[in-house]
Amino acid sequence: MFVNSSIPNIEPARMYSSTSRVTVGQDLDLRCSTYGLAKADQQVFVYLLKNGVGLQRVKTTSHDIPFTIKSATLNHTGNYSCVFSRNDYQPVTVHLVGDMLVFIKVMDFVHPAIIEVDESKVSQGTAVEFRCTSEESPDTDILHVYLCKNHRITDVNIWDSVKKQARFHMARVQVDDSGNYSCVLSQRLLAATELHMCGRNAVLLQVQGENDANRRLHVN
């Protein structure tokens, strides 16, 4: 679909991409073609557009024009197309849509998940199991799940893509295991450092020591 604009002498070109998904930080390679549309050896300006707004411009006599978006961010998700003209315009002034739209999804390599625990107040020495779930996990062969305590990674597991979950078992919790727990999914290995974002929610695990248990019994 080609949407005309008030700018004269703009023609639609064809848009191609070898992928519809890239990860944050990766380069996004796209290709425009004017084959059969522009005359041979004709100098033209080819414009790459996202959501109908010009992003990049190349001056060329080639019919096959590559475009690269370096270090893609989440904001680069959108519909891409391209057009060409004999005239030179600033890309941001070109507001229209070319032929053969290509939708590109830029995915974050860290995906917040939902965490659950059967009991959040336990005694020292109790076994605790956290369950991390997500219906929005990316479709990939290997996905790592990280358990975070107070926004710091404490454990890692492999994601079950069939059940869409992962479990973390703590055999005998101690008082210093108390804290806010959450979990994230990642296609990359993450270092055990603090994360700015870890999980869609958090659960507060409170582990009571012997003194706390004796005090509770005495009160009762």
* Tens digits of residue pLDDT in 3-30: 445 677 899 999 999 888 888 888 999 9
- For residue 19, the one-letter residue type is T
**Rounded Cα–Cα distance for residues 117 and 130 (Å):** 5
Cα–Cα distances (Å) from 93 to 30, 55, 88, in that order, read 21, 10, 11
3-state DSSP helix/strand/coil % of the chain, to nearest 5: 10, 50, 45
Domains of the chain: residue spans and CATH: 10-107 (2.60.40.10), 110-210 (2.60.40.10)
Confidence at residue 28, expressed as pLDDT on a 0 to 100 scale: 94
Q: Which residue has the higher pLDDT, 56 or 111?
A: 56
Q: Is 72 helix (H, G, I), strand (E, B) or coil?
A: coil
**Cβ–Cβ contacts within 10 Å for residue 30, how many?**
23
The mean predicted confidence, pLDDT, of the chain is 87
Compute the distance between CA of residue 180 and CA of residue 152 in angstroms, rounded to an integer.
10
At 55, the pLDDT band (50, 70, 90 cuts) reads: very high
Looking at residue 110, its pLDDT comes to 80
Query: Residue 213: pLDDT band by 50, 70, 90 thresholds?
Result: low
